[in-house]
Amino acid sequence: MDWQAWYTIAILCLTLCLLAWGKTSPAAIMWGAVAALYGAGVLGVKDALGGLSNEGMVTVAVLYIVGAGVTETGAIDFIAQRVLGNPKSPTAAVARLMVPTATISAFINNTPLVAMLIPIVNDWAKKNRVAVSKLMIPLSYASILGGTCSLIGTSTNLVVSGLYKEQFPGQSIGMFDISWVGIPAAIVGVTFVVLASKRLLPDRRPALSHLEDPRQYTIEMLVDGASPLIGKTIEEAGLRHLPGVYLAEIDRDGMVLPAVAPEERLRGNDRLVFVGVVESVVDLQRTRGLKPATDQVFKLNSPRSERCLIEAVVSNTCQLVGQTIRDARFRSNYNAVVLAVARNGQRLTGKIGDIEVTTGDTLLLEAHPSFVNQHRNSRDFFLVSQLQDSHPPRHDKAGIALAILLGMIALAGLEILPMLQAAVLAAALILISRCATVDQAKRGLNSDVLLAIAASFAISKALEDTGAARAIAEAMTSLAAGSPWATLAMVYIGTIIVTEAVTNNAAAALMFPLSIEAASRLGVNHFPFVIAVMMAASNGFATPIGYQTNLMVYGPGGYRFSDYVKIGVPLDILIGIITVALAPFVWPF
């Protein structure tokens, strides 16, 4: 190897150490590595920036827009409720998540699948009081394991299939050839993660608990006359054990039902009185079939989908002090509606319009975002701030968003259109149909994930072009000492090491010719070696850069590098044993 290869290996090792240290974002670390490689002349401009236009990275970016449409219309809640349900424990939540994800991933490329599921899982975890750090790695791992159950499950399988056709003209890898190894591996892998999740996955929650927040609001929500919640019990409607909020009472035709039992069935026009912190109130606003009990929200000038929730602290010079909200004509004077009032953690009873405002009250308002700029320096309020992601969902568009999503999945899954084209078409329809606005789509893009994925392609290119990756792979395969079983094991180990350190597709491209050469030298059937490369290149669990989906859940799950090592290394070993044991059994040497 020349100096460039050694330099690239050194940069890779430094990158992995910094990722393991966990004090800086993966995107910053990996682009620092790209800058070091470009500055030394190892990478040219085209290769250094090529990842920014890579089809896989662009596909993920476009799918974030599709995900924004599903989220903003409330369709996300429908999906979570129908598919994921209400688990009784974190372990049950992991199982409920992994089984359908792995099944779907066998027929849909796993990278876009994870991009669509991240916001769904995030909201589902919050609703069911499960730490999101318990679910994001299982989401990634399930998509990876399911992807190895068919030829179209991962881009890596397709890369190896293409290389195989070039190497052996007239031959091809069947749609379900890999299934003989992939399905047993997926079953064992999912079972392992479910059983090990309690001990090997972190339980990270925000430092400040919801229950420690002094801003306890009392808010009334009305069961809409056409609500899908009508006839359901409190528990069936998902309104029991909500995080950070509880149902205090129901006002039904003037009769108050306190200490509501979970078996109580909801009726149209029930007024539900909730007490809780602001984040939970935002979640109530997004619940399909519930709307604010005050009809004032429907008298504001701006469309409801363009509004948001705002907190405003009343100052001692505010004209509202000493008046009730109704008498002060709040909506007319401010073009905003008071949904709830927080006062030193007290529960304020009575209708919202009858509450008398005092200095220091925190008002929860529904208004156009321009309210913040208009009143930020007003003498009426000490503080005005907008709550993030608090736009009321457009439930009337939920069916459209779901139809677009399912159409995209059908077009890509049946190979009518390539994944990128199907995703671009779906994103365009999401914006045209107003399921999400351009601003909401922009907010849905996770720039850290996209930049980290783009950088990984540049690092991979440097390892490939300098010969560093080939040298590492050859060194691994040379240790097998002529045994077909040992050689197969070394091919798997070499491929998984390159996968964990670089990227899956690069590992497949580098190790495929070496595996064919190894089988040829031994004079044995080459197909077990091909399957070993496919499995190893697709099943990178031990590092966040081993597979794109691992990198995608890194930030949303709040993970550290060591979290992947702790559960990923045993899983790597387990899948390796299954592959090396089964492949020669199905396709004898």
Q: State both tokens at 472.
A: 């590492």
User: In whole angstroms, what is the distance from residue 275 CA to residue 373 CA?
Assistant: 29
Residue labelled with tokens 């499960």: 130
Confidence (pLDDT) at 572: 94
User: In whole angstroms, what is the distance from residue 216 CA to residue 280 CA?
Assistant: 10
pLDDT at 392 over 90: no
Confidence (pLDDT) at 494: 85
Burial of 53 (0-12, 13-18, 19+ CB in 10 A): exposed
Confidence (pLDDT) at 76: 65
Q: Hey, what amino acid is at 396?
A: D
pLDDT at 206 over 60: no
Dihedral sign from CA coordinates of 467, 468, 474, 475 = positive
Give the chain's mean pLDDT. Answer: 82
User: In whole angstroms, what is the distance from residue 103 CA to residue 109 CA?
Assistant: 12
Q: What phi and psi, each to the nearest 5 degrees, are found at residue 233?
A: -75, 165
Q: What is the pLDDT of residues 514-523, one digit of tens each?
A: 788 778 877 8
Q: What is the pLDDT of residues 98-138, one digit of tens each?
A: 999 998 888 776 777 787 788 788 878 877 888 999 999 99
pLDDT band at 271 (very low <50, low <70, confident <90, very high): confident
Q: State both tokens at 547.
A: 């597979």
For the residues 249-256, what does the mean pLDDT come to? 84
Full DSSP string of 303-327 = -GGG-EEEEEEEPTT-TTTTSBTTT
Q: How many CB atoms lie within 10 A of CB 566?
A: 17
pLDDT at 507 over 80: no
Q: Which of 37-46, 107-116, 449-458 has the highest mean pLDDT?
A: 37-46
Inter-axis angle of helices 3-21 and 468-477, nearest 10? 90
**Percent over 90 (pLDDT), the chain:** 20
Helix residue ranges per DSSP H, 55-89: 55-72, 75-79
Inter-axis angle of helices 447-465 and 468-477, nearest 10? 70
Q: How far apart are the first and last CA of the chain?
A: 33
Q: What CATH number labels 210-386? A: 3.30.70.1450
Q: Please state the length of the chain.
A: 589
For the residues 222-227, what does the mean pLDDT come to? 84
CB within 8 A of 110, min separation 6: which ones?
143, 144, 146, 147, 153, 154, 549
pLDDT at 384 over 80: yes
Confidence (pLDDT) at 209: 42
User: In whole angstroms, what is the distance from residue 559 CA to residue 452 CA?
Assistant: 15
pLDDT at 450 over 80: no
Confidence (pLDDT) at 299: 65
**pTM for the predicted model, two decimal places:** 0.68
For the residues 334-358, what does the mean pLDDT come to? 82
pLDDT band at 207 (very low <50, low <70, confident <90, very high): very low
Burial of 329 (0-12, 13-18, 19+ CB in 10 A): exposed
CATH 3.30.70.1450 maps onto the chain at 210-386
CA 256 to chain centre: 41
Cα–Cα nearest to 463, from 453, 452, 473, 477 = 473
Name residue 521's beta-bridge partners.
none
Query: Does residue 243 contact residue 276 with C-beta atoms inside 8 Å?
Result: no
Buried b (16+ CB within 10 A) or exposed e, 406-429: eebbebbeeeeeebbebbbbbbeb
Query: Does residue 519 contact residue 533 with C-beta atoms inside 8 Å?
Result: no
pLDDT at 335 over 60: yes
Query: Does residue 148 contact residue 182 with C-beta atoms inside 8 Å?
Result: yes
96 or 83, higher pLDDT: 96
Full DSSP string of 378-423 = -TTEEEEEEPTT-PPP-GGGHHHHHHHHHHHHHHHHTTSS-HHHHH
Q: What phi and psi, each to the nearest 5 degrees, are found at residue 109?
A: -50, 130
Q: In 433-539, at which residue ranges do the beta strands (DSSP E only) sit?
A: none
